Amino acid sequence: MKLVEEDRGAHTVLSISGTLALGDATRALQERFEKLAKDRTGAVILDLSGLEHLDSTAIGVFVGGLKKFDALGRRFYIVNPRERVAAVFRITHLDQVFRVFPSLDAALAVANLPGKEEETGGR
């Protein structure tokens, strides 16, 4: 797994590529979520356009991240998952739990809205 962090104003974009599965990769992502929770404000946007495979542990890390940032009053979005990854979200009905956007620009536009955003797209 490769993880690249980019600041976009007050928001953080994490681009995840490769395989995200039980072990060092999921631990690294959990640690990054902890660091972002302490060190940053704003939305956390996961760009999954490069993610080829994920397992149930990775899904658990995503759900944990959503709960963590939601408890902090922060937004947590998923952007542009590949069809294989999107299918996992659909099969598990997590596409009804996560806000999923077709592009980074769409997610950033909603992230920049003040207060609670209107429901659009994936949730």
Compute the distance between CA of residue 1 and CA of residue 72 in angstroms, rounded to an integer: 27
Please check whether residue 15 lies inside any domain of the structure.
yes
Please check whether residue 123 lies inside any domain of the structure.
no
In this structure, what are the phi and psi dihedrals at residue 68, rounded to the nearest 5 degrees? -60, -50
Please check whether residue 70 lies inside any domain of the structure.
yes
Q: Are 32 and 63 in contact (CB under 8 A)?
A: no
Read off the tokens for 13: 């974009």
Q: Reduced to 3 states, what is the DSSP secondary structure of residue 20? A: strand
How do the pLDDT tens digits run along the chain, 123 residues long?
A: 999 999 999 999 999 999 999 999 999 999 999 999 999 999 999 999 999 999 999 999 999 999 999 999 999 999 999 999 999 999 999 999 999 999 999 999 999 998 754 444 444
Domain that holds residue 104: 2-108
Please check whether residue 39 lies inside any domain of the structure.
yes
Question: Residue 72 maps to which CATH number?
Answer: 3.30.750.24
Instruction: Give the number of other Cβ atoms within 10 Å of residue 32's Cβ.
Output: 18
Compute the distance between CA of residue 62 and CA of residue 68 in angstroms, rounded to an integer: 10
Q: How many domains does the chain have?
A: 1
Please check whether residue 48 lies inside any domain of the structure.
yes
